[in-house]
Chain A
Amino acid sequence: MGYVLYTNTLGVFLYNDKGELAASRGFSDKERQEYEPLLRRGEWIKPEEELLKGTDGRVIFLGFKKAKRENIVLSQDVDKLARFTAVRDREKFRAANQAISANDVRLSFSEDIVVMHTIRTIDELEHVTNAMLMRVMDFVKLYAPEAVSYLDEPSAVLGILEKGAASTIGYPISEEHKRVFQELARGLAALNREKEKLEKHVEATMKRICPNLLGVAGALLGARLIALAGSLKQLATMPYTTVQLLGAEQALFRHIKKGSKCPKHGIILAHPFVQTAKSRGKAARLLAEKLSHAARLDYFKGPDMSEKLLRDMEARLK
C-alpha cells in the first residue's frame, strides 16, 4: 500500500508499507502552536514536506488537505486512524491537546463578552431599582401624599424625605421610620449612579469595538442586540430578518405553532426610527438591514460609516 503520512498534535509520522514507523518529526511546544492554525485550515506544513522528501512513489496522507499534490492520495480511512492514532502516547497527546485548548481559550476572549455582561447588569439594575422605588413611594404616600404625583426618580423622593420634619398629612410618623426610608432612598440613588456609570462604560467600549452598531442602534439597544445574538460575530453573521425579530422569539414561536400573527419586530421596536414611523413594519425591516450591515462592518473591522448608514435608511423610508 506504500507509505502513509499522518500528522497529529504530537508531530508528523511516516509509516512504511508494513505499517512500521519509518520516520517521524515531533513538534516542540512552540511549533505545535505555530502549526495548529495551518493544520486546521488544511495547509501543508514544513515537517510534512521534510518527511515527504524521503519517499518515492505513492504516499497516502491520512487526513485533510486543501491543495492536491502529485503522488499523494488523501484518505480518511478509520482503520488506519485506529492503527496510527496517538493513544499509545496518551499522556503526551493529552497534554499537547490541552496546550492547544489553553491557547484557544485565551484567544476566544473578546470585548463583546464584557459588553454583554454589562448590559445584562444594567437591565438587572433597572429592574431592581424600579421595584425598590415603588416600595419607597409606598412610604412617601404615607408621609407626603401630595408629592407622589410628581415623583418619578429617587433623587426627588430623597428630597421630600430629607425636607420636612413631620408628615404633611398629620400622621404621627416617627423620625426613626423616616430615617430608614431615607437610607433606602440614598442607596437607590447610589444604584442609579452606578447604572449611569455602566451605561457610559458600555458606550465607551462599543465606540472602540463596534462604532457602526453604536451609531445606528445607540448604546443600549446595540448592546442588547449583541447579548440576544450571543456575540458580535453571531449578530454579524445572522440574516437581517433574524435581527429584526431578536427579542420576539416567544411571539415567533406562537406564530409557527399556533398560527397567531407573525411578529414584525423584536426589541428594535424601541428605536426612535421605528417608533416614529408611519409603517413600523417597513421601518423595522430597513433598520434591521442597516443594523446587520453595521455589525458586519464592525466584525470585519471596517471603517465607521454609521452616519451614512443612518442617512440611507432615512432616505429609503421616504
Chain B
Amino acid sequence: MKAGRHPGVFEDNRRLYTQNLAPGIAVYGEPLVKEGGKEFREWNPFRSKLASSILKGIPPVGINRDSIVLYLGAATGTTVSHVSDICSEGIVFAVEFSPEVFTELFLLAKRRPNIVPILADAAHPEAYYHRVAAADVVYQDIAQRNQVEIFVKNATLFLKRRGKAILCVKSRSIDVAQQPAKVFGEVREALTSNFRLLDYKTLAPFQKDHAVFLVENRKL
C-alpha cells in the first residue's frame, strides 16, 4: 500500500485506506489491514462519497494531518471516521440533526478524541456558532432541497481564507422531476457566484445521480 496524492489516504490496487486512529475497532464493518506495524481501515467508496470522489480523481480537498474540518450531515459517522483518521492532529466538528443517528456519532466521538459531535440543524448555524472553530475545510452531505443555501451560509461563517469546501449533491433531493445534469448545472451556477470552483465530479458507478463540488473561498 502506498501514499497517494491525498494526504493521509493510502492506495493499494484501487482500494483506499486510512490509518486507524482507534486501532482494533472497525466503525461500519470495514476490513482492518495491518502493514508495517500500522493498522489501516479500508475505505468503502460505495459507503462514502468522499472515497468515491477520490477514486473518481478529485484533486486534494485540503484535509491534512492538522486540519480543522466542519462536517455537516455527519449521520452515524461513516465518512467522518475516515476524515478523523486523516486529520489525526486536527478536529472534525460533526453536525447532525437527527437524534436517532446522532447517538451513534456521539459514541464514535468517545473513541476518537478529534471528533466533536454537535446535534444541530445546519440551516441554523447561529445556534452552534459558539461551539465550532474557523475551519480549513467545510464538507457538506445533507440531502435537503435548500442544501446550496445552507452550504453557502456555513462556508461564509466558518471557512477560513483560502479554505476549501466540498458539497455533495443528490439531484433527487433538490428536484425529483428534473434531469440530474440540469440540477447539477444549476448548483454549479449558484456556487460560482460565491466561490471559485476547483472541480466537479459525478459519482457513478459508486452513487447514482450524485455529484460533488470542490470550491475555494474567494476572499483573499
Contact = CB atoms under 8 A, between A and B. Distances in A.
B91 A94 contact: yes
Contacts of B133: 81-82, 85-87, 93
Interface in B123-150: 126-131, 133-134
Interface residues of A, number: 35
Contacts of B4: none
Interface stretch (B5-13, B79-87, B96-104, B199-207): B96-104
Interface in B160-200: 160-161, 176-177
Contacts of A104: 102, 119
Contacts of B103: 105
A85 B176 CA distance: 40
Q: Which one of A39, A64, A82 has the highest number of Cβ atoms from chain B below 10 Å of its Cβ?
A: A82
A98 B130 contact: no
Interface in A74-102: 76, 78-79, 81-82, 85-87, 90-91, 93-94, 97-98, 100-102
B157 A82 contact: no
B150 to A, nearest CB: 16
B134 A113 contact: no
A98 B113 CA distance: 10
B109 A98 contact: yes
A109 to B, nearest CB: 8
B129 A64 contact: yes
B159 A78 contact: yes
Nearest to A110: B99
Contact of A100 (B126, B131, B134): B131
Nearest to B133: A85
Nearest to B163: A78
Given A76-B157, A81-B158, A256-B177, A108 B130 contact: no
B164 to A, nearest CB: 14
Interface in A108-126: 108-109, 113
A78 B177 contact: no
B117 A78 contact: no
Interface of B: 68, 91, 98-100, 102-103, 106, 109-110, 113-114, 116-119, 126-131, 133-134, 156-161, 176-177
Interface of A: 7-9, 39-42, 63-64, 76, 78-79, 81-82, 85-87, 90-91, 93-94, 97-98, 100-102, 104-105, 108-109, 113, 230, 253, 256-257
Given A7-B130, A256-B177, 11 more contacts: A39-B130, A78-B161, A79-B160, A86-B133, A97-B116, A97-B117, A97-B118, A98-B110, A101-B109, A105-B103, A109-B99
22 contacts: A7-B130, A9-B130, A42-B126, A76-B157, A78-B134, A78-B156, A78-B157, A78-B161, A81-B134, A81-B157, A90-B91, A91-B113, A94-B116, A97-B116, A97-B118, A98-B116, A101-B102, A102-B106, A104-B119, A105-B106, A230-B98, A256-B176
